[in-house]
Structure 1
Amino acid sequence: MTEQSAWSFADDRGQLAAADRRPARVLAYVQAGATLWDYGIRPEGIFGSGHDGAEPDRAKTGTLPLDTVDYRGAGDALDVDTLLRGRPDLVVAVSYGHGQLYGLDPDTAKHLEERVPVVVIDVGQARTLDRVAERFAALARSLGGAPVPDASGELHAARERLRTAARAPGAPRVVALSPAGPEQAYVARPQMWPELRVLAELGIGLVSPTDGAGVNWATVDWAEAAALEPGIVLADIRSNAVPLHGITDPVWGAAGRGARTVPWNPEPLCSPQAHARFLALVADAVEEAAG
């Protein structure tokens, strides 16, 4: 490597990814690829997790130009040859702690790292959303990307708007959940989700399910979900979740009368503009609910 062309980046496992020149063909987990795109880095390919299917999940892809970004697939469809078919010179993956590459079989990940540099960003519950965003921003800069002008200002404005809305009399109770089907829902434990902790820090009244089984989610029936009396429901819109509008349980309907629904992606893009868009949607709903 030469001083003029060498590239390296220390990832969240404490491992150094290095190359003799700055990578230009990035393969990324879909969440990472969509975030990097917001900094001007177009990945040559993306891959999903075991929750995903043969087509990319539009809830996770943000504004990625899917006509020019190759989706490699997900789950059992992913092997080293499939992942490397676009000749990437860098792989960007995410981890939920312990350094394991999310969405990839450990053996596949091992053989992948033998062939190409890999950077892992930790997006797990131990991280704040700001810290995750900082890490993606640092990686994007190292790859030649830059933030959109005024994106940080838009995020600050969105935070302050939501903070003000949360202080208003009559601010609603908020429940985050992922519909599992006509009988059950997974209700998020807010303290386990970095983006939900941001809402709580801004004063939003997030409602926690009762203690019990499940670290990140509590599995409840719709009557139990309704008993939480949400004025706003943050509904998981990923493709593996059942659409909330498809739930016809009458108990839920009665309890949810007047409840506003905000689309929520539990695998959020970590750019300032993407975070600002989500906060603005929550602020819209809080302001409407408060009258």
Structure 2
Amino acid sequence: MDDSEENGTMSLGLPPITRRRALLGAAGVAATAVLAGCTNSANDTAQQTASTAGGPFDFTDDRGQAVHLDGKPTRIVAYAGSAAALWEYGIRPVGVFGPQKLADGSPDPQVGRVDLSAVTSLGNAFNEFDVPAYIKLAPELLISMVVNANGLWYVPQDSADEITGKAPTVGIRMVRESATKVIERYEALAKALGADTETDAIKQARSEFQTATTRLTDVAKSKGGLRVLAVYGSKDKPYIGNPLAHASLRYLYEAGVPITNVGDQADTVTWAPDLSWEQINRYPADLILYDVRTQALTLDQLKQIDVFNQLPAVKAGALVPWRTENPYTYYSYTQIANEVADAVAKATPGLV
């Protein structure tokens, strides 16, 4: 994948991403199914109502930019992943931009529990941002994710000045931090927006996440010598994810899952040095996390690559989805923790 794609965001610690959402593959279906299950099973308890208490809004974002408003903003426009995180606390954006629907019309994993019929879509793909519609919404605050020192994810560079000039902006960092930290930052933002972050449903979700994380740590400790590799598969080459750079991997890594950091890369480097599919077997793995985003090769497609199909972990069926696009919520990461813990428990250290 070309480093120039997505304005060079690969070098900023982000996974590969295409300008258009690719056609939904089998792995993408699996990821979406898990999200759908999460949504359906907890709708009754997770839909929180934000506090209507008055008072100012004060928040310093992950770019170090402080925002002060005399009152709590209610006309919020948010990136899909940000909207999904805040939705858990009863924050209801009026507009959403970024991936919301897959090619088959089903919800994108990134949008989580957001009711797409209740928000205005300003664009579903990279560089799709309907500026006139945004202005018509009379936004009081724009929220997105941070991919570098100043950039806001999915806010097009060519119209960024116009967009950010219409309302204050808040950015939450999604690289070089653990998913746990990202979840906590969204919780702090929700609280600043007036949400009650200590409802019974939120406390339960937080407790279940902590329990699942503890279980993951305990299972990982019981598998001494296990080697785990995170792989994004493209037709031309594999990309080996750096567990320090991706929030989803860093969460697993800090919980004790021994994900290989090829070359001991710093957290500013997203992927291992270039390698071909023929070279992937130089990194022994007892368990493989395979990227299930729609632009990645599906597991069936990966298995058509002979060198991948011959890896000991693949032969042993030691494969688990890498759900890097799941929302940064307690509920979502409880599912991830348990899924990976199950896979680690079944894996056999020292396959090669």
Q: Shorter-chain TM-score: what band?
A: 0.7 to 0.9
Q: Which amino acid aligns with 2:290?
A: A
> More deviation in 192-201 or 90-99?
192-201
Written as runs of structure 1 = structure 2, the 5 A alignment for 1:183-222 is 183-210=236-263, 215-218=269-272, 219-222=274-277
Q: Secondary structure at the match of 2:175?
A: coil
Q: Secondary structure at the match of 2:256?
A: coil
* Matching of residue 261 in structure 1 with residue 301 in structure 2: no
Q: Shift of the alpha carbon at 1:92? A: 0.3
Q: Shift of the alpha carbon at 1:14? A: 2.7
Counterpart in 2 of 1:102? Answer: 153
The structure 2 residue matched to 1:150, chosen from 192, 204, 208, is: 204
Contact 2:323 2:336 in 1 (8 A): no
Distance 2:269 2:309 in 1: 27
The structure 1 residue matched to 2:71, chosen from 21, 26, 29, is: 21
Distance 2:107 2:76 in 1: 19
Contact 2:320 2:343 in 1 (8 A): yes
Distance 1:106 1:282 in 2: 37
Counterpart in 2 of 1:33? Answer: 83
Distance 1:258 1:43 in 2: 45
Distance 1:165 1:275 in 2: 16
Q: Shift of the alpha carbon at 1:134? A: 2.2
Counterpart in 2 of 1:234? Answer: 289
Q: Shift of the alpha carbon at 1:174? A: 1.4
Q: Which amino acid aligns with 1:165?
A: V
Runs of 4+ in 1 over 6 A off after TM superposition: 52-57
> More deviation in 83-92 or 184-193?
83-92
Distance 1:102 1:222 in 2: 30
CA deviation vs aligned residue, 1:167-205 (integer Å, no higher than 9, x gap) = 224674211121112x31111022222332332233212
Choose between structure 1 and 2: higher strand proportion: 1
Contact 2:234 2:296 in 1 (8 A): yes
Contact 1:236 1:264 in 2 (8 A): yes
Counterpart in 2 of 1:47? Answer: 97
Q: Shift of the alpha carbon at 1:28? A: 1.0
* Matching of residue 287 in structure 1 with residue 345 in structure 2: yes
Contact 1:92 1:120 in 2 (8 A): yes
CA deviation vs aligned residue, 1:245-280 (integer Å, no higher than 9, x gap) = 222112211212123332223345222222222111
Distance 2:127 2:250 in 1: 33
Q: Secondary structure at the match of 2:118?
A: coil
Distance 2:251 2:212 in 1: 12
Q: Secondary structure at the match of 1:112?
A: helix
CA deviation vs aligned residue, 1:96-137 (integer Å, no higher than 9, x gap) = 231211222334222112211211112231x34333222211
Written as runs of structure 1 = structure 2, the 5 A alignment for 1:44-193 is 44-48=94-98, 58-73=108-123, 74-125=125-176, 127-147=177-197, 148-169=202-223, 172-181=226-235, 183-193=236-246
Contact 2:54 2:72 in 1 (8 A): no
- TM-score normalised by structure 2 residue count: 0.71
> How many percent of aligned residue pairs carry the same amino acid?
29
CA deviation vs aligned residue, 1:203-255 (integer Å, no higher than 9, x gap) = 2121233479x921134333333443333222222222222322211221121
Distance 1:28 1:136 in 2: 12
Give the alignment's Cα RMSD to 1 decimal: 2.9
Contact 1:231 1:259 in 2 (8 A): no
Q: Which amino acid aligns with 2:246?
A: W
> More deviation in 35-44 or 167-176?
167-176
Q: Which amino acid aligns with 2:162?
A: H
Aligned positions, number: 284
CA deviation vs aligned residue, 1:20-64 (integer Å, no higher than 9, x gap) = 432223211122111111222222222127xx9897871312222
Contact 1:79 1:108 in 2 (8 A): no
- Consecutive unaligned residues of structure 2, counting only runs of 5 or more, are 1-52
